[in-house]
């Protein structure tokens, strides 16, 4: 160990260059893992904020003829009777809200903004966990009357009423006047880059009668009693709608039911795949670094041939010579790995603070990086060490 450390110290710059590949490789792997894991956790958190027990019912089958996905907006399979039936019979759902939407310009004087008007029931605020920061939500009476009232998101409030209190003011959406009765508490952007505050919520009857003139729903949103009961709720909702739509056993449903859990699992799986690809790409630099260490050690064996011959002539065994070079290789590799872990942690923290990237370094990635560096040191140091151990002492002493 002492001889190995001294040999490395005598060639500081060359040893550092050998470590550099390991440092960069490990740092790259750590950063990729941190970004991948952080993004996955951020997506999970955003989906949980929307409600992890949400169930979404969409019109139309999951796949159309020939495997082509159909356009739900062109289908009209979800009717008000379905909503009433679900409200009456669904035991595993705490809240139910039909949904109709209309996109367009919302105007206040000279200010305007592109947004989406969501027609919902009063239970929508509980399903999506929206809080009112100013004013109030609409009531069941507003739904019965198809009242021209709305609750707006913070982005809409800031663009239409800069520096003002929007509550009680009038806005126009597709030439229809609406009175603002509340402002939603800000949720900001989600992991997909969408502004969650750019929306308006109004009674679903108002959108159906005054904006779209439609008699069907774009979707129906439900909230299971608990996240664990989501599967039971989906089975119950499927049975209710199959009976309501008179769908016989073996026939394809004319509706699609999805839960937030499915979305969460799909996104997690996608992020795991992306992270794996990034990590594998970064890991190739570790392979190159290992080859670099082997080359440096081979050069070191050649340069120190005479020294090796002298050691062997005074009693050093082949195993001693082999261990000396193997220890050098491991020290270079492990030291580079430790520095790489430190650099990777620093870069991950910097990416989070400077660029706002969600990062999270899993502890196992640091442990694996350390183990990989040790393996690289042993694996790529073995051949040079064996070459040194097999040298003939007499020939080695005479080597110039």
Residue 84 in this model has a pLDDT that exceeds 80: yes
Q: Taking 70 as the threshold, does the pLDDT of residue 152 lie above it?
A: yes
Query: For residue 148, which of 107, 181, 177, 117 has the smallest C-alpha distance?
Result: 177
Q: How many residues does the chain have?
A: 400
Residue 70 confidence (pLDDT) above 60: no
Q: Are 200 and 148 in contact (CB under 8 A)?
A: no
Contact 98, 85 (CB under 8 A): no
Burial 345-356 (b: 16+ CB within 10 A, else e): bebbeebbeeee
Rounded to whole angstroms, the Cα distance separating 1 from 334 reads 14
CB 297 within 8 A of CB 328: yes
For residue 74, name the pLDDT band (cuts at 50, 70, 90).
Answer: very low
- Distance CA(282)–CA(22), nearest Å, equals 11
Which pLDDT belongs to residue 65? 47
The residue-averaged pLDDT of 93-111 equals 94
pLDDT number for residue 71:
53
Q: Which of 148-157, 223-232, 305-314, 317-326 has the highest mean pLDDT?
A: 148-157
Res 307: pLDDT: 87
Do 220 and 204 touch, CB atoms closer than 8 A? Answer: no
Share of the chain above pLDDT 70, in %: 92
Among 250, 332, 353, 327, residue whose Cα is nearest residue 290: 332
For residue 43, is pLDDT > 60? yes
pLDDT band at 259 (very low <50, low <70, confident <90, very high): confident
Higher pLDDT, 338 or 60: 338
pLDDT at 203 over 90: yes
CA angle 114, 75, 150 (to 5 degrees): 35
Looking at per-residue pLDDT, the higher value among 286 and 51 belongs to 286
Report the run of H or E that residue 94 belongs to, with start and end.
strand 93-108
CA torsion 386-389-395-397 (nearest 10°) is 130
What b-and-e string marks burial along 227-253, b requiring 16 or more CB atoms within 10 Å of the CB?
Answer: eebbeebbebbeebbbebbeeeeeeee
Query: What's the pLDDT tens digit per position in 307-323?
Result: 889 988 899 899 999 99
Where b means 16+ CB within 10 Å and e means fewer, 105-136 reads: ebbbeeeebebebbbbbbbbbebbebeeebbe
Tell me the two tokens of residue 330.
Answer: 């491991």
Question: Measuring CA to CA, which residue among 45, 74, 46, 79 is closest to residue 61?
Answer: 74
Contact between 142 and 131 under an 8 Å Cβ cutoff? The reply is: no
Task: Tell which residue, 258, 276, 278, has the closest CA to residue 266.
Answer: 258
Average pLDDT, the chain: 87
pLDDT score for 96: 95
Token pair in block for residue 262: 């499915």
Least confident of 2-6, 167-171, 214-218: 2-6
Q: Are 108 and 171 in contact (CB under 8 A)?
A: yes
Using 50, 70 and 90 to split pLDDT, how confident is the model at 50?
A: low
Res. 400 pLDDT band, cuts 50 70 90: low
What element of type H or E holds 182? Answer: strand 176-184
Statement: residue 217 has pLDDT above 90? yes
Confidence tier at 194 by pLDDT (50, 70, 90) = confident
């Amino acid at each position: 160990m002492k001889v190995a450390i001294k040999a490395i110290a005598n060639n500081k710059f060359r040893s550092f260059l050998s470590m550099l590949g390991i440092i960069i490789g490990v740092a790259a792997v750590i950063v990729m893992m941190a970004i991948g894991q952080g993004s996955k956790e951020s997506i999970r958190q955003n989906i949980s904020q929307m409600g992890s027990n949400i169930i979404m019912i969409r019109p139309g089958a999951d796949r159309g003829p020939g495997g082509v996905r159909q356009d739900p907006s062109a289908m009209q399979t979800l009717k008000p009777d379905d909503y009433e039936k679900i409200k009456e019979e669904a035991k595993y759902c705490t809240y139910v809200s039909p949904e109709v939407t209309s996109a367009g310009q919302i105007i206040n004087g000279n200010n305007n903004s592109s947004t989406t008007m969501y027609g919902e029931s009063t239970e929508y605020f509980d399903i999506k966990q929206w809080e009112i920061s100013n004013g109030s939500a609409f009531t069941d009476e507003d739904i019965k009357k198809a009242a021209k009232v709305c609750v707006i998101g913070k982005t809409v409030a800031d663009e239409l009423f800069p520096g003002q209190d929007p509550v009680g003011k009038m806005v126009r959406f597709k030439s229809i006047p609406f009175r603002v009765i509340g402002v939603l508490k800000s949720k900001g952007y989600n992991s997909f880059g969408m502004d969650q505050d750019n929306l308006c919520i109004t009674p679903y009857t108002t959108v159906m009668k005054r904006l779209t003139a439609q008699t069907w729903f774009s979707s129906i949103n439900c909230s299971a009693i608990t996240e664990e009961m989501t599967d039971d709720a989906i089975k119950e909702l499927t049975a209710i709608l199959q009976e309501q739509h008179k769908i016989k056993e073996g026939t394809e449903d004319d509706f699609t039911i999805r839960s937030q859990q499915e979305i969460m699992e799909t996104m997690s799986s996608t992020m795991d795949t992306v992270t794996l690809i990034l990590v594998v790409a970064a890991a190739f630099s570790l392979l190159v670094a290992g080859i670099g260490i082997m080359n440096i050690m081979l050069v070191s064996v050649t340069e120190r041939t005479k020294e090796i011959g002298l050691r062997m002539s005074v009693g050093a065994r082949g195993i001693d010579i082999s261990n000396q070079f193997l220890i050098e290789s491991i020290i270079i590799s492990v030291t580079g790995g430790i520095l790489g872990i430190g650099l990777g942690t620093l870069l991950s923290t910097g990416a989070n603070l400077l660029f706002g990237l969600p990062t999270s370094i899993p502890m196992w990635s640091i442990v694996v990086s350390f183990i990989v560096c040790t393996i690289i040191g042993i694996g790529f140091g073995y051949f040079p060490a064996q070459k040194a151990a097999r040298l003939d002492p007499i020939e080695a002493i005479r080597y110039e």
